[in-house]
Copies of this chain bind each other. A is one copy, B any other.
Amino acid sequence: MTEKFDIIVVGAGVLGVAAAYHLQKSSPNKSILLVDSQPEAGQANTAMSAAAVRNMFSSTTNQLLTDSSIAFYRHIQEGLGFDLTMHMCGYLWLLSAGQFKAPSVKMWMQRMEKSDIHYQVYEQEELQKLIPGMTTKFSDDDEEAQLMNLNNIDYALFGSECGVLDPDLLVKFYKQEFIKLSKVKPRFSLPVTSLLLEAKPSLGLPGEPYVWQDKRVTGVRTPKGDIHAETVVLAVGPWTNSLLDPVGISSFVKAKKRQLFIIPASNHPPLEQLLFTKGFSKAGFLPFTILPSAGVYVRAVPEEKSFWIGCADKVGRAYKYVMEEQDYKAERSYFEESMYPVLSKYFPAFQNVRPVNSFAGSYCYSFDALPFVYEQAGVIVATGASGSGIMKADAIARMADALYRGEKETELYGGQKMPTTALTISDRQVEVERVII
C-alpha cells in the first residue's frame, strides 16, 4: 500500500515551488506532491542568498533566463499586487581600465547590446561624484593596496533592470498559487533519502533491475515510506548528486559555500549616507555593487538599514560533493582577513565597523555556470543554477514544465522562446557564462 501521484516535486526551494506552480498550472488535472526536508518552503539555500537579481550575464541563454524571470517578478509585484519588496536599485560593476578593456568584458557588453539588455558606462569622475565616500584611485605609495592587488576604479557598468527582492516572499507567492491550484497538500519536514529505480515491467526477481530491463525512477523513499509517481521533478540544488548518483543518472554539479555578513548602517552616519546613495535609480539607495578586486560585493538592505557583504571566492574555496554542517556556518576569520581589508579600502566608511550577524549557504555550480534542465529515466532534473537560481527560477520552472509536457519550445514570460533541450546535457546549446559572482 503505497501512495501514488502523477508528479512528485522534490525540493521546495525557489526552483521547486516555481516548478510545482507552473506544472500544476499547465496540467490542472495532474496530482502534484511537493516535498521538502525543511519545515517550510524556501528555508534551505534559497534563504541564504544575497537575493539580488540581474540580467547582466555574458551568456545569451543566461540573459534570456534572467531577463524573463525578472520581468515576471515585476509582474507579480506590480501587476498582481503581491509585494516581493523588489527594488530596481541596479547592479554596479566597478572595473579598472584593464578590466574594462579586457576581451571578455567587451564580449559581455556586446552580447548585452545584442540581447537588448540595457546598461550604462560610468567613468571615474562621475562615479566619484555619485559615491563621494568611495576610493576610486589608490595612491602610488599605498603599499596595502598594492599588497592586496587592489585595482583602481576607472569605469563601471550599471544595469538598471537589476535589483533586489525578498526570496522568502517570492517562494510564498509560488507556494500560495500552487496550493490554490493543487489538490495535494505539500509535505514538509519529509526528507527524500533516495530515488526508487525499478524495472519496467518488473519480474519480481531479486537483484532487479537487470541491465537488459527498461528502468525508470518510480518514486521516492522517505522515512515515512515510499511514495510513487509517474514523474519525479528534482529541484534540490547541492543535494542533486546524492540522489542521482546512486541510480546512475548523470549529474555533474558541485556545491560551494557562500557566506554573507551583515553590517548595520544605523548609528554610523557615513555608512547611512553610503546606503542611501541617490542618483543611480529611483530606488534611492546604493546599487548592488561589485568591487573590482577579490570578488567582494556590497548589497544594501534599506528595510534593515544594513549592508550584506559577500564574496565570490574562486580558487581557494573548496568545491563540495555534499554539503556538511560546517558549510552552513559563516567564518568570522574569513570576513576579517579576506573581505574586510578589501571592503574598507574601497569604502573607508566600513573602517572599524564589524558584522553583527552572518549566514552561509551553498551554491550549486555547473561547469559552464548555466543551469541543467533535463529528463532521464522518469526524472526531470533542474539543478546547477550556479548562484543565480532565484533570478532565473521562473524560466527554469517553465522549461521543466515544457519538458514534462513534451513541448519542443519553452515559452518564457514575455513571449520569448527557447528550445526546451537547450539546457539538457545531451543537446546543450549555450555560451559558457563568464560573469560569475
Name which residue of chain B comes closest to A432, CB basis: B426
State which of A25-33, A221-229, A313-321, A347-355 sits at the interface with chain B.
Answer: A313-321
State which of A42-50, A206-214, A388-396 sits at the interface with chain B.
Answer: A206-214
Minimum distance in angstroms from A313 CB to a CB of chain B: 5
Residues of B within 8 A of A317 (CB): 248
Q: How far is the CA of A392 from the CA of B244 in the complex (A)?
A: 29
Q: How far is the CA of A427 from the CA of B432 in the complex (A)?
A: 7
Q: How far is the CA of A210 from the CA of B434 in the complex (A)?
A: 23
Minimum distance in angstroms from A28 CB to a CB of chain B: 31
Residues of B within 8 A of A247 (CB): 315-316, 318
Please list 30 pairs of residues, one from A and one from B, whose beta carbons are closer than 8 Å in the complex, sorted by A's number.
A147-B203, A149-B212, A149-B213, A197-B316, A209-B316, A210-B341, A211-B295, A211-B313, A212-B338, A212-B341, A241-B319, A241-B321, A245-B318, A245-B321, A247-B316, A247-B318, A248-B314, A248-B315, A248-B318, A251-B319, A252-B253, A252-B254, A315-B377, A321-B321, A367-B425, A368-B425, A425-B432, A426-B434, A427-B432, A428-B432
Contact of B319 with A248 in the complex, beta carbons under 8 Å: yes
Name which residue of chain B comes closest to A334, CB basis: B211
Residues of B within 8 A of A249 (CB): 315, 319
Q: How far is the CA of A345 from the CA of B319 in the complex (A)?
A: 46
Copies of chain A in the complex: 2
Interface size on A, residues (CB 8 A): 60
Residues of B within 8 A of A140 (CB): none
The 7 tightest CB contacts between A and B, nearest first, are: A211-B338, A212-B294, A245-B319, A252-B367, A148-B212, A321-B321, A252-B252
Q: How far is the CA of A163 from the CA of B210 in the complex (A)?
A: 29
Name which residue of chain B comes closest to A253, CB basis: B252
Contact of A337 with B207 in the complex, beta carbons under 8 Å: yes
Minimum distance in angstroms from A219 CB to a CB of chain B: 15
A327-355 CB contacts (< 8 Å) to partner B: 333-334, 337-339, 341-342
